[in-house]
Amino acid sequence: MRSLPSAAPADVPRDLTAFAKTALLPRMRQVTKDAAIEITAVNSVPAFVATRASEAVALALALTGATETRAVSYTTEAGLFEQAGCPAVICGPGDIAQAHAADEYVSVAQLDSCMAFLEGLAKELSA
């Protein structure tokens, strides 16, 4: 499970369980009285918020020419790295709209931008 940055991680399973018990289970029991819902969290990933105070975020913004960060609707390990004290950013070629689909692709222009970013990063880190 992944919580939104504005919610505590414990809120997600609590709210999901409450919704299941109050909204879903009564309707299910109208069909069969033995209906049940069991929710088991097998993984939890903290939300990641890219802030300008992070050196990694500031560097990524400088290298890409971007002026702001944005939130994404999927989860990554970035929140785990941040939680462990390792600055992180989420970046790379491609667009989530084309990811994880039968016709997934990354355009040549996106790969060119990625290479420019990596070359700039290598120069910055070797200076």
CB 119 within 8 A of CB 112: no
Range of lowest pLDDT (13-27, 38-52, 53-67): 38-52
**Residues 5-30: what's their mean pLDDT?**
89
Give whole-number Cα distances, 92 to 2, 45, 50, 53, 116, in Å. 21, 20, 15, 21, 11
- pLDDT greater than 80 at residue 7: no
Token code pair at residue 13: 């399973």
Per domain, the residue ranges of the chain are 1-44
Range of lowest pLDDT (5-9, 18-22, 122-126): 5-9
- Strand, coil or helix: 42: coil
User: What does the pLDDT look like over 78-110, one tens digit per residue?
Assistant: 989 988 999 999 988 888 888 888 999 999 999
Q: Would you say how long the chain is, in residues?
A: 127
Confidence of residue 6 (pLDDT cuts 50, 70, 90): confident
CB 47 within 8 A of CB 79: yes
Reduce the secondary structure of 4-29 to three states and give it as a string. Answer: CCCCCCCHHHHHHHHHHHHHHHHHHH
